[in-house]
Structure 1
Amino acid sequence: MSNNQPSQRNIKWVEGLRGITSAFVICTHVSRALDFPLFWPADNKDAGPRIMQLPYLRIPGQGRIGVPIFAFLTGFVCAYKPLKLAYQQGNVPASLKSIARSAFRRPPRLILPALIATVFSFILSCFGAYKAATRCDSFWVRFDAPEILPFRENFQRLFRSALTTWTNTENVYDRHQWAMRPLLVGAFQVYIVLAATIGMRFRYRIMVHVLLMLYWLMNVGALTETFGANLALGTLLAELAQHRPTQNWISSHQRLLTYIIAPLLILIGGWVGSYPQEHEDWSPWAAHLHRWLVDPAGDGSRGSFIVPLGSNVQRRSSAFFVQCSAIAIFLSPLLQKMLSHRYLLWLGHHSFAVYLVHGTILRTVGMWIVYGITGEPWKLAAKNEDGTSQPQEWLPMRSRGYIIVGVVVFTALTYTAAWAWMRWVDTACARATQWLEAKVFEEEDGEGKLGLAEKGYPQMNGNGHASPRPDGPRGPPPP
Structure 2
Amino acid sequence: MLSPPNSALPRVLSRQPLTRALRVLLPSFVSDRIFPEHRTTYRVHPTSYLDGLRGIAAVIVFFCHYTENNFSALIPSYGLNYDRTSSVVQLPYFRIIFSGRPMVHIFFVISGFVLSYKPVQAIHSRDLDKFYTTLASSTFRRALRLFGPCVVSTFMILCLRQMGYLRPARETLSEELWKWKDAAFHQVTWPWSWDFDLKPAYDIHLWTIPIEFAHSMLLFMVLLMLSRVKMRIRMASVFALLIYCLACGKWAGFEFLAGLFLVEIFVIKSAREKDWESSEREQAQNSTSAMIIKTAQIAIILIGLFIGGWPNHDADKTPGIRYFNSKTPYPFATMDYLAPQKFWFGVSAVFMVWAIGELGGLKKFFEGPLAQYCGRISYAVYICHGPVMDLFQGALIGRPAVPAHGEQEETDFAAGGLLPDSGVKSVFGISTTFQITVSWFFGLLLLGPLVIWAADLFWRAVDDPIVKLGKRLEMACLDDSTDHPSPRSQGYSLAA
Superposition TM-score tier, normalisation by shorter sequence: 0.7 to 0.9
> Structure 1 counterpart of 2:189, which letter?
W
Match of 2:310 among 252, 275, 281: 275
What is the CA distance between 1:13 and its match in structure 2? 0.6
Is 1:412 aligned with 2:449? yes
Is 1:351 aligned with 2:386? no
Give me the whole-angstrom Cα distance separating, in 2, the residues matched to 1:9 and 1:399. 42
TM-score, length of structure 1 as denominator length: 0.75
Closer, same or farther in 2 for the Cα pair 1:75/1:52, shift >3 Å? same
What is the CA distance between 1:107 and its match in structure 2? 0.5
> Structure 2 counterpart of 1:365, which letter?
F
Is 1:162 aligned with 2:184? yes
Give me the whole-angstrom Cα distance separating, in 2, the residues matched to 1:357 and 1:455. 52
Is 1:124 aligned with 2:160? yes
Match of 1:436 among 453, 473, 477: 473
What is the CA distance between 1:334 and its match in structure 2? 3.3
What is the CA distance between 1:247 and its match in structure 2? 4.9
Closer, same or farther in 2 for the Cα pair 1:157/1:24, shift >3 Å? same
Mapping for residues 136-151 of structure 1, pairs under 5 Å: 148-151=170-173
What is the CA distance between 1:314 and its match in structure 2? 2.4
Cα deviations across residues 267-323 of structure 1 (Å, max 9, x unaligned)? 2222333221113466xxx15532x23336xxxxxx448954446122223223322
What is the CA distance between 1:195 and its match in structure 2? 0.5
What is the CA distance between 1:148 and its match in structure 2? 4.0
> Structure 1 counterpart of 2:373, which letter?
W
* Residue in structure 1 matched with residue 138 of structure 2 by the alignment: 102
* Residue in structure 2 matched with residue 473 of structure 1 by the alignment: none
Is 1:179 aligned with 2:208? yes
What is the CA distance between 1:32 and its match in structure 2? 1.0
What is the CA distance between 1:125 and its match in structure 2? 0.7
> Structure 1 counterpart of 2:178, which letter?
Q
Closer, same or farther in 2 for the Cα pair 1:272/1:343, shift >3 Å? closer
Q: Is the 8 A contact 1:294 1:304 kept in 2?
A: no
Q: Is the 8 A contact 2:395 2:423 kept in 1?
A: no
* Residue in structure 2 matched with residue 216 of structure 1 by the alignment: 245
What is the CA distance between 1:82 and its match in structure 2? 0.9
Q: Is the 8 A contact 2:49 2:357 kept in 1?
A: no
* Residue in structure 2 matched with residue 322 of structure 1 by the alignment: 349
Give me the whole-angstrom Cα distance separating, in 1, the residues matched to 2:345 and 2:314. 17
User: How many residue pairs are counted as aligned between the two chains?
Assistant: 397
Mapping for residues 6-405 of structure 1, pairs under 5 Å: 10-41=46-77, 42=79, 44-45=81-82, 47-88=84-125, 90-131=126-167, 148-164=170-186, 165-167=188-190, 169-220=198-249, 224-225=250-251, 227-244=252-269, 247-248=272-273, 252-253=284-285, 255-256=290-291, 259-280=294-315, 286-290=318-322, 292-295=323-326, 303-304=328-329, 308-310=333-335, 312-371=339-398, 398-400=423-425, 401=427
Give me the whole-angstrom Cα distance separating, in 2, the residues matched to 1:287 and 1:244. 38
> Structure 2 counterpart of 1:364, which letter?
L
* Residue in structure 2 matched with residue 387 of structure 1 by the alignment: none
Closer, same or farther in 2 for the Cα pair 1:52/1:333, shift >3 Å? same
* Residue in structure 2 matched with residue 426 of structure 1 by the alignment: 463
> Structure 2 counterpart of 1:289, which letter?
I
Give me the whole-angstrom Cα distance separating, in 2, the residues matched to 1:367 and 1:247. 55
State the percentage of identical aligned residues.
21
Q: Is the 8 A contact 1:240 1:246 kept in 2?
A: no
What is the CA distance between 1:434 and its match in structure 2? 2.1
Cα deviations across residues 298-353 of structure 1 (Å, max 9, x unaligned)? xxxxx448954446122223223322311211332332222111221111011011
Give me the whole-angstrom Cα distance separating, in 1, the residues matched to 2:152 and 2:368. 31
Cα deviations across residues 20-42 of structure 1 (Å, max 9, x unaligned)? 11111111111111112322114
* Residue in structure 2 matched with residue 4 of structure 1 by the alignment: none
Give me the whole-angstrom Cα distance separating, in 2, the residues matched to 1:161 and 1:245. 44
Q: Is the 8 A contact 1:293 1:306 kept in 2?
A: no
What is the CA distance between 1:68 and its match in structure 2? 0.7
Q: Is the 8 A contact 1:108 1:433 kept in 2?
A: yes
Q: Secondary structure at the match of 1:408?
A: helix
Give me the whole-angstrom Cα distance separating, in 2, the residues matched to 1:354 and 1:313. 28
> Structure 2 counterpart of 1:207, which letter?
A
| RMSD, aligned α-carbons | 3.1
Closer, same or farther in 2 for the Cα pair 1:326/1:86, shift >3 Å? same
Unaligned runs of 5+ in 1: 1-7, 132-145, 297-302, 373-392, 458-479
> Structure 2 counterpart of 1:18, which letter?
R
